[in-house]
Amino acid sequence: MKTNKTKLIIFKGDSITDDHASELTEFFNNLNSNQAVDFILDTTGGDLSATVIIQNIMKIHKGPIHVFVPMKALSGGTILSLSTKHLWTNTHTQFGPMDSIYFLSSISRYLKPNL
């Protein structure tokens, strides 16, 4: 049974992976469309495609998503943090560069895999 109570996600210390994207997709699919979500995020970043998947499911969700970054949201974590309308930080919270993650994705089409 779906309820309207705020749901909590704690994402701490891990690198963002496809497994996380799958788990969060399932999590959001099991929510009411307007249900509030509190997301505590502490990450060094991770895989670009997983970050984009999570970002897209967060954008599709109609309910408010409150992101709390107590320590760090680097690279892909910065992208996720800035994808919501409600962001809380501490005075010592760190955000990281996104340029490297986007740079690598933009040049990847020109790179040939070593087979």
- The pLDDT tens digits for 25-69 are 999 999 998 999 999 999 998 888 899 999 999 999 999 999 999
CATH topology of domain 7-110: 2-enoyl-CoA Hydratase; Chain A, domain 1 (3.90.226)
3-state secondary structure of 8: strand
Q: What's the pTM?
A: 0.80
Amino acid sitting at position 1: M
How much of the chain exceeds pLDDT 90, in percent? 57
Find all residues with CB under 8 Å of 28, minimum gap 6, and list them. Answer: 37, 57, 58, 60, 61
Q: Strand 65-69: give its sheet, edge to edge.
A: 7-12, 37-42, 65-69, 86-89
pLDDT-based confidence at residue 93 (cuts at 50, 70, 90): very high
**Quick check: 14 pLDDT over 90?**
no
